[in-house]
Amino acid sequence: MPKKKKDTQDIPNDMASARQSLVNGQGTSSSYGSTQRNSQMTFQIHDGRNGTVQDLVVVQKLGKGSFGDVYKVEDERGKAFALKRISCRMPSYSNEQAKLIQDLIGNEIFSMINLRHPNIVQLYSYDFEGIAALLVIEFCPGGNLNTRLRDPVNMKQKFDWMSQLLEAMAYLHYNNFVHRDLKPENVLLGDKGQMKLADFGISRAFLTRDLKNNEDSLSEYEEKFMDKYAGTMYWIAPEVFDRKYTEKADIFSLGVIFYAILTRKYLTYQGESYYGAFVNHRGKEVGLGLAMHRSEKTRLPSFDGLKSEAEKLVVGMVTEMLCFREEERISLNRAQKVLEDAKHYLQEDAISMKSSHSRTSSLYTEAPFQDGQADKKSCCCTFLGTKNEDERNEEKKYLVQ
């Protein structure tokens, strides 16, 4: 079936006019939003960049994001996407508050539209439905990291995840973007289990002057509404609470995520488990950043059981990411190098363990010893010397079979 074209006067011809349309409370055309078709909800998306129109059928509701619903949708070929329908206005919001939300939605589009990285969720197309924005993004079937951390993974997998997230964050900062909302729930897993940074709802381009004078301030939106998303508070850097921060705040938040990956420690809030770095402050478990904001002398939580050379390197790296003073935090480039060294040590440890296992196994695959072969008998008895008499007799039976 040919796709019906929208009236071109309703279609923003560039991103600037698209954003202005949204800020003014004008969608491209409210008649081309969600509809019911054969008992299935369908979104018709017009891509303002290339003029194409796409029908997307809702398969299931995935949940609620920061500002709206998230659906799994499929196109006519059966390819899956995630669709975020972000409302710009709620009954309880004033016009001023609604405009702040509209600005944030514009930021999300601008942040994602030109980003191309294997560890960053891809934005494919967008449209506006009245005062709502519709974002068609990459579908990540593996869920989010907060859920994934419920199950244990080996250290190699943990190091690989960290490496992928460092690469994604370095790419963002290189392209002059700060994420500002890093947390395990905003890290998704792709079809091959790879890390994918997502949800740029409060990211924005940062300017050189922000980095020089350190006078960047928390937006009015965050100041008013952040407490509605309590999970976010657990990963925020201490300086964010003072409304003065740079891209180094992302490094702190990423350090909290790395701590969660390494230790799998969590806090339960309203029945939900949140993985991160928590400390006891005045009898209450709080996020590390908030505790540091209240007291610079706050000590980092422990890294229990991480004692190999590779693990100690990464613990040192994460510790530097979690420095109270942002100027003392490790750079992303340096962190990447440390992690590469740690992965090398981990590989050496694995080879060493394999070699050791091979040598141990060879003791059981020696040719059966005969009377008079004192050297081999001695060797076997030395190996079995820590065992009791019954165990030694049993293993001798095995060796002479």
Q: Which of 181, 210, 216, 250 is catalytic?
A: 181
Q: Is 84 annotated as a binding residue?
A: yes
Q: Which two tokens stand for residue 261?
A: 């990956």
Question: Residue holding tokens 């194409």?
Answer: 52
Q: Measure the CA–CA gap between 396 and 76, rounded to whole angstroms.
A: 68
Q: Measure the CA–CA gap between 178 and 176, rounded to whole angstroms.
A: 7
- Amino acid sitting at position 289: G
SS (H, E, C) the chain: CCCCCCCHHHCCCCHHHHHHHHHCCCCCCHHHCEEEECCEEEEEEECCCCCCEEEEEEEEEEEECCCEEEEEEECCCCCEEEEEEEECCCCCCCHHHHHHHHHHHHHHHHHHHCCCCCCECCEEEEEEECCEEEEEEECCCCCEHHHHCCCCCCHHHHHHHHHHHHHHHHHHHHCCEECCCCCHHHEEECCCCCEEECCCCCCEECCHHHHHHCCCCCCHHHHHHHHHCHHHHCCCCHHHHHCCCCCHHHHHHHHHHHHHHHHCCEEEECCEEEECCEEEECCEEEEHHHHHHHCCCCCCCCCCCCCCHHHHHHHHHHHHHCCCCHHHCCCHHHHHHHHHHHHHHHHHHHHHHHHHHHHHHHCCCCCCCCCCCHHHHHHHHHHCCCCCHHHHHHHHHHHCC
| Active-site residue, 181 included | yes
* Annotated binding-site residue numbers: 84
Q: Which residues define the annotated binding site for ATP?
A: 84
Residues identified as active-site: 181
